[in-house]
Structure 1
Amino acid sequence: MRRSVTIPFQLLEVILVLASMCEAQWAIGSSSHCTQTSPREVRPHSVTITEFGAVGDGVTLNTKAFQNAIFYLNSFTDKGGAQLFVPAGRWLTGSFELISHLTLLLDKDAVILGSTHSDDWPVIDPLPSYGRGRELPGGRHRSLIYGRNLTDVIITGDNGTIDGQGNVWWNWFRNGTLNYTRPHLVELMNSTGVIVSNLTFLNSPFWTIHPVYCSEVVVQDVTILAPLDSPNTDGINPDSSDDVCIEDCYISTGDDLISIKSGWDEYGISYARPSSNIIIRRIAGQTSSSSGIAIGSEMSGGVSEVHAESLQFFNSKTGIRIKTSPGRGGYVRNVYVSDVDLTDVKMAIRLTGNYGEHPDASYDPKALPDINKITFKDIRGDNISVAGLLEGIEGDNFVDICLSNITLNVTSSSPWNCSFIRGYSDSVSPDTCEPLRDRIFPHHSSSCYHISDDLQTQSDRKQQSWLMPRLSFSFTII
């Protein structure tokens, strides 16, 4: 029996309006680089590291096995790619380099161990946007897992572990016996289509995961751990990279949990590769010496379009921080941080206009950063020492700094301290500083990044909820 449905014209018009609204929302969501990924995509060819003589006893050095396996798999890059499987065991290795269209897959009981001999971490050129090693002039040690100029790279597993055994590097750093900048645990350069997921990263010698000059990067469902007193063991540092998604991670380290960067002073200005379109969400963790989310201090290539939400930080020095300095140049703009829970944090929000050293004496002290359109919204805090220390630069105010719906249980008698800052606020407790006391609503919402869009989204949702219960369909069966 054929059936048709007769719908009154007015009702059809309403349905079409709703459909267009849903379609618009779907289009926005589907264009996001945080859409669902398939890190366990089956590659046409797979090998196991033991096929190349690797021994998982935690003692035998397996660098050659990793290098030989990847060299072999290189012949499959134009045939749909390949997979290197690391089974249960403790696989000691020095630095090795990845290839395009590769999945590095770790068993749940697999541990890749970084060698404790510096000679197993080759020295490579400094990044052009830094001009030298970040810690010392000259080159830098290559990361344990490294790749450059790659496409379609997946590093994943059933919560297998990559352990940098960084204690020896931290001691060399503290003792001043390093000749070159310490290595990262994972670094991908000039690469596109990178996924890092479902792994635990331990004890990185320096920054843990460092995508630099990359596009379309996803870091999902990872745990990053290092002692809270370990030096500069940042968790995830997107650097001069765009279309980056970081979500569903737990991080506890000795420095910033997530830090967005884009080059250092005159080198970053010259290289001119910004970090942009970065989504950070559902992140939890602690750091006793630094920040949950940081931007800078190396931001000379520019940072923009950063959205961070659903964050939980505890037992930490700072919740959210932007760090810069005269000489940096560049910009930080269009940053939106929302839905943040802070517990036992010394300082909830910090903006610093005079932070960090310079690579050399050639930087231009007149290269002032442009900091504007920074929004902090829906932030809650318990046992917070200081609500905010917001310090711009004399003659270079940070502007359009917006605080909305922030409630902090603060122990200090001076909760806010502001200088060379201009902006707006609404519903902030305790009361914010004088330069931010102009109301956001109704006159200044357009000056506050994403707040107008956020209000429009809420309005659209209310409109849909008002319309939907009133829709009734009458069907005629033929």
Structure 2
Amino acid sequence: MDRSSTPAMFQTMEVVFVIVLLGLVSVGRVDCRQAIKLNSEYPAISCRKHSASLTEYGGIGDGKTSNTKAFKKAIDDLSKFSSDGGAQLIIPPGKWLTGSFNLTSHFTLYLQKDAVILASQDAKDFPLIPVLPSYGRGRDAPGDGLRYNSFIHGTNLTDVIITGANGTIDGQGQNWWHRYHHNKLNYTRPTLIEILYSSHIQISNLTLLNSPQWFVHPVYSSNIIIQKLTILAPYDPVSPNTDGINPDSSSNVLIEDCYIVSGDDCISLKSGWDQYGIKVGIPTQHVIIRRLTCISPDSALIALGSEMSGGVQDIRIEDTVAINTESGIRIKTAIGRGGYVKDIFVRNVTMHTMKYVFWMTGMYGSHPDNNTDPKALPVIQNINYNDIRAENVTMSANLAGMKGNQFTGICISNVNIGLSAKPKELQWNCTDIAGFTSGVTPKPCALLPDKAAGKDFSCHFPTDRLPIEDVKMNTCSY
């Protein structure tokens, strides 16, 4: 059945026609085609042949009525069009309360302007699912091998889009945060959006609020575009672990043009936890992060780890801004993690009011259980920073590798750090690291000597393009 020919759609067309006529009467000459275009077109990796509104499945947008059954019915029905041009579910203006729901392939979830999807605050509306194999347990609690399903969830999918005209997805995480702070959780809190074992994913042009835990979590997935998100959560400790975007054992990822205010790291790149991540062995790699603005007083602009046991490699970060954030690019690992963080490239970063500009630690604790292998040492190498400007900084760098397991190949060039009114007396704390610098102020530690004095030198940044950069967006409509 082609939904474009249903009576409901004809009724919608009649309404649009009446609105246009009223506009002609009240305003005069109007370009009707342009009026429709502004309200119905959007960029996407794929367009859909079929469309339906949540209201066609009994949805009620009053902010009180549960729409869990309506979402399930709609997505189950629209999944029938997966092999016939795909389908899109339109969420109109209103407040649409619902429990957790699962997506389907060749599918678009589109939130119109002033549409708000509200997450239920009843834990019973979030089914229990197995913990991630690369973590071995839940992050909040062991949970007997189970954790709460994410609010918006997808597994083994292809070609999925979550987008809109800056509509809102509100996780209403306050009750979850309260339960976490008071040790009342038996299972790990749900993330807001989690996509597993999937490919060709787009998440864009939305406002995301108050996730119970991490906001956007692609896992074991590839070919992912995350664009133009506004992500907001209260500062820690109010909203614990509300990381903004966490690519996890995923590859070929583009994150750009996002604004994040977070209770934890604005972006954290992960790949599994200790022996579980080592066993699964899926790295996060080939990731571009650019034009990001971050506010996170107790965490990082971008963190690498601490769960990085499957490896993190070829990460390209540029044109980003950190404001009132604890640290810039932070590497977090520990004995027992194994894995690696290597080939990290950073350039053109601006920072305002920071505790640390550069921060690396090989002593970041927290293990899933008592079976961690003490011989599993992580490899940290080829870390490149270039063109960094920072002001109102307490300490320039805290760089601590591991005794007998140095962090190597650290390159820092063209950096100017302005100190706060009460800076730390020791500006560069360096242990068990190796590398060099060029054109860095204040003067770095002895373990990072200036080996290019008087020369025009910059740390490396790749010149090739990743495949995700060349994905062409289509102009789609509904």
Shared fold (TM-score, shorter chain, > 0.5): yes
Q: Is 1:205 the counterpart of 2:212 in the alignment? A: yes
Match in the other structure for 1:61: 66
Question: Match for residue 340 of structure 1?
Answer: 349
Contact 1:402/1:440 (<8 A) preserved: no
Give the superposition deviation at 1:412.
2.6
Corresponding pairs, count: 417
Q: Which amino acid aligns with 1:194?
A: I
- 2:84 matched residue in structure 1: 79
Q: For 1:30-429, what aligned pairs fall within 5 Å after superposition?
A: 38-39=43-44, 41-137=46-142, 138-229=145-236, 230-410=239-419, 411-429=423-441
- Deviation of 1:450 (Å): 2.6
Map of 1:450 onto structure 2: 460
Measure how far apart 1:432 and its partner are: 0.5
Q: Is the 8 A contact 1:219 1:247 kept in 2?
A: yes
Indicate the larger mover: 432-441 or 335-344.
Answer: 432-441
Kindly state the Cα deviation for residue 288 of structure 1 after the two structures are TM-superposed: 1.3
Q: CA deviation at 1:356?
A: 2.8
Aligned counterparts, 1:18-29, within 5 A: none
Q: Secondary structure at the match of 2:256?
A: strand
Distance 1:158-1:331 versus aligned 2 partners, 3 A rule: same
Counterpart amino acid of residue 450 in structure 1:
H
Aligned to 1:4: none
- Does the CA contact (< 8 Å) of 1:423 and 1:438 recur in 2? no
Deviation at 1:443, TM superposition (A): 11
Identify which of 429, 433, 437 aligns with 2:449. 437
CA contact (8 A) 1:424 1:444 kept: no
Contact 2:324 2:352 in 1 (8 A): yes
Give the TM-score normalised by the residue count of structure 2.
0.85
Sort the Cα spacing of 1:93 and 1:78 in 2 relative to 1 into closer, same or farther, 3 A. Answer: same
**Equivalent residue letter for 1:160:** G
SS at match of 2:43: coil
Contact 2:398 2:428 in 1 (8 A): yes
Deviations 1:86-145 (A, max 9, x none): 000000000000000000000110000000000101110000000111121131111110
Alignment check: 8 A CA contact 1:334 1:449 kept: no
The runs of at least 4 consecutive aligned structure 1 residues that moved more than 3 Å come to 440-445
Paired with 2:46 and 2:253, the residues of 1 have a C-alpha distance of 20
Distance 1:236 1:56 in 2: 28
What is the letter of the counterpart of residue 330 of structure 1? G
> How far apart, CA to CA, are the structure 2 residues paired with 1:226 and 1:308?
23
Residues in 2 aligned to 1:189 and 1:429: alpha-carbon distance in whole angstroms: 43
Q: Distance in 2 between matches of 1:384 and 1:295?
A: 21
Provide the residue aligned with 1:15 in structure 2.
none
- Percent identical residues: 51
Displacement of 1:39 in angstroms is: 1.7
TM-score normalised by L of structure 1 = 0.85
Which amino acid is 2:444 matched to? T
| Structure 1 residue 441: Cα displacement | 7.4
Describe the superposition over 1:26-78 as per-residue Cα deviations: whole angstroms up to 9, x where unpaired. Answer: xxxxxxxxxxx932853100010011111100000101100000000111001
Q: Report if aligned partners of 1:218, 1:246 keep a CA contact under 8 Å in 2.
A: yes
Counterpart-to-counterpart distance in 1, 2:389 and 2:424: 16
CA distance in 2, matches of 1:134, 1:119: 19
SS in 2 for 1:232: coil
- The answer to whether the 8 A contact 1:374-1:449 is kept is no
Q: For the structure 1 residues 440 and 103, does the alpha-carbon distance in structure 2 shift closer, same or farther, using more than 3 Å as the test?
A: farther
Q: Secondary structure at the match of 2:78?
A: helix
1:349 CA drift (Å): 1.0
Alpha-carbon distance in structure 1 between the residues aligned to 2:80 and 2:453: 60
Whether the aligned pair in 1 keeps the contact of 2:110 and 2:162 (CA below 8 Å) is yes
Contact 2:112 2:164 in 1 (8 A): yes
Where 1:83 maps in the other structure, the secondary structure is strand
In structure 2, stretches of 5+ residues that fail to align are 1-41, 466-478
Conservation of the 8 A alpha-carbon contact between 2:162 and 2:204: yes
1:225-258 Cα distance to aligned partner (Å, 9 max, x none): 0001210000000000000000000000100000
What is the DSSP-based 3-state SS (H/G/I as helix, E as strand, rest coil) of the residue aligned with 1:51? helix
RMSD, aligned CA: 1.8
- Using the alignment, how far apart are the partners of 1:332 and 1:442 within structure 2? 31
Uncovered stretches (5+) of structure 1, i.e. residues with no partner: 1-36, 458-478
